[in-house]
Structure 1
Amino acid sequence: MTTGLGLAGYEPDSQSESAVAFRVQVLEDEQFIPQHRHRKGQLILALHGAITCEVENAMWMVPPQYAVWIPGRVPHSNRATPGARLCFLFIEPGAAAMPEHCCTLKISPLVRELILTLAVRKKGQGTSLALQRLVQVLFDELPQQPQQQLQLPVSAHPKIRMMVDTMAAEPAVWQTLGQWADHFAMSERNLARLVVKETGLSFRRWRHQLQLILALQLLIRGHSVQQAAHALGYDSTTAFINMFRKGLGQTPGRYLSGLTTPSQ
């Protein structure tokens, strides 16, 4: 099934199947789904474009060939890039050995095709036994997908929230701990302690993770490496590439080439 991101009139928890999947085509504009929750666990797989989910005081980035797993009853909101193509998979609680916490998963070609096959199956199409076998293979493989660190810890603390929103909107301007300490009229030491307390990361590591997420968003939207480096305030493309490689283990070009998926 293919639907718009608004999913008007669709209630996944009303379905009794252990696994329900459907395709989502985002419109030209960026789409946002406010905070909500499901009884079923939800896997959001990016096929083209990207989606950012805010879950449990963290921001999760989902580029193509990745998925974010959201356990049942966990409040979350979603923001998809213009023209994104996604696949939503809802899993009945306890049906698969999935993590009890939110995480980003690197999805193998096999699992991707299993999910897409399930999404196009209709009631009465194929035998029930064949569908059960497909779902069982999916449930065997899905928990084996490796977890990736593509999340940014986000606190409800007003200062942390202001920092995230402002740095995401103007990453080239608000870059240093000293700038924020002056803005909040507090010492750098006290602000550094607040960041660690609220996010579990030092300011430098926390900012690096945000920059990594912003870099992925820009590159997936079609910006060049040079454009992304400039947008994030880097003086040189080389410094930007080094930041990217440090976070994801590959240069932007090599990483993006690995995100290429067959047209769906």
Structure 2
Amino acid sequence: MKRSQDYQLTARPVVSFSDEYPAGYTDPYHSHERAQLSYAVSGVLRVTTDDGSYVLPPNRAIWIPAGVGHTTSCRESVKFHAVYIDPAFDALPEKCRVFEVSDLVRALIGEVISFHQPYPEEGREERIVRMLLDEIPRMPRVDINVPMPEDNRILRVCRLILDNPAEHSDIDHWAAVAGMGRRTFTRAFKNQTGMGLATWRMQVRLMHALSLLHAGLPITSVAYNSGYESPSAFTSVFHRSFGFTPSHYLARQASGA
């Protein structure tokens, strides 16, 4: 199967393909000459850019503008679809965004995947491509991400928390990791991320919990593996953040709601 870099040389402005990552896979830091729209068909992807870290449960998509460096990783095996789009097209998002994938967009991507490359520049294929491009800016945005800092000292802390969301070290520990005093670290962290350490870590834990829920772990296991003291504490935070309980969330996902 061709990898994404093979598609950069295509003569057509839009191409799409399906691929799979094995459990534990990490795609090293890279960027593309084209804009990228990717979504997980099964499993959960984590995409990290210089500006943020994003989690993609099934049927959520991420838009990555051309030239934006990123890494992609997964804890369990993932099947995904990816679309690469010439950045010359107008009215496309200029920043990374996570979207809900509508039934129409899912079907359009499926059609583009089936095209023989290079597809005819006029006719059915071109009309489908145009419809897909029209729908991308209209997809509803979903904010499941955490901002990443530019300061390398704060970035070191953020990467360690992303790698182990259940870690319970206090702010003094993380200030020491950053090589800062407590007050300096607290102020710098908020300046760099727009939120305090506790709020940022809560967002990371929720992102991690979503991955574990989609991997099929029981809610009790998800709670403890995500750093919560009890399933009830996890359910409370989850409900406050998303508007429904973890079990209701999974039911909605299963029904396609």
TM-score normalized with structure 1 length = 0.87
| Cα deviation 1:103-161 (Å, max 9, x = unaligned) | 11111111111111211222488994011111111111111001111111122434323
> Does residue 39 of structure 1 match 2:33?
yes
- Residue in 2 aligned with 1:254? 248
- 1:167-178 → structure 2 map (5 Å cutoff): 167-178=161-172
What is the CA–CA distance in structure 1 between the aligned matches of 2:27 and 2:166, rounded to whole Å?
27
On the 8 A contact 2:11/2:118 being kept in 1, the answer is no
Q: Which amino acid aligns with 1:69?
A: W
Match of 1:48 among 42, 62, 71: 42
What is the CA–CA distance in structure 2 between the aligned matches of 1:195 and 1:129, rounded to whole Å?
53
- 1:50-199 → structure 2 map (5 Å cutoff): 50-123=44-117, 128-181=122-175, 186-199=180-193
- Identity among equivalent positions (%) equals 27
- Residue in 1 aligned with 2:21? 26
Which stretch has the larger CA shift, 73-82 or 122-131? Answer: 122-131
Deviation at 1:163, TM superposition (A): 2.2
Gaps of 5+ in 1: none
2:83 partner SS: strand
On the 8 A contact 1:166/1:174 being kept in 2, the answer is no
CA spacing shift, 1:80–1:180, aligned 2, 3 Å? closer
1:204 partner SS: helix
Deviation at 1:63, TM superposition (A): 1.1
| Cα deviation 1:20-40 (Å, max 9, x = unaligned) | 00001223x322111111111
Which stretch has the larger CA shift, 43-52 or 95-104? Answer: 95-104
CA spacing shift, 1:244–1:203, aligned 2, 3 Å? same
On the 8 A contact 1:50/1:220 being kept in 2, the answer is yes
Which stretch has the larger CA shift, 130-139 or 244-253? Answer: 244-253
CA spacing shift, 1:18–1:126, aligned 2, 3 Å? closer
What's the C-alpha RMSD, in Å, of the aligned pairs? 2.5
Which stretch has the larger CA shift, 197-206 or 119-128? Answer: 119-128
How many residues align? The count is: 256
- Residue in 2 aligned with 1:17? 12
Q: Which amino acid aligns with 1:209?
A: Q
CA spacing shift, 1:261–1:135, aligned 2, 3 Å? farther
Q: Which amino acid aligns with 1:137?
A: M
| Cα deviation 1:43-96 (Å, max 9, x = unaligned) | 111110011111133111111111110011111111134321100101111325
Q: Which amino acid aligns with 2:162?
A: A
What is the CA–CA distance in structure 2 between the aligned matches of 1:190 and 1:137, rounded to whole Å?
50
What is the CA–CA distance in structure 2 between the aligned matches of 1:173 and 1:124, rounded to whole Å?
49
On the 8 A contact 1:96/1:143 being kept in 2, the answer is no
What is the CA–CA distance in structure 1 between the aligned matches of 2:78 and 2:207, rounded to whole Å?
17
TM-score normalized with structure 2 length = 0.89
What is the CA–CA distance in structure 1 between the aligned matches of 2:148 and 2:121, rounded to whole Å?
46
Deviation at 1:218, TM superposition (A): 1.6
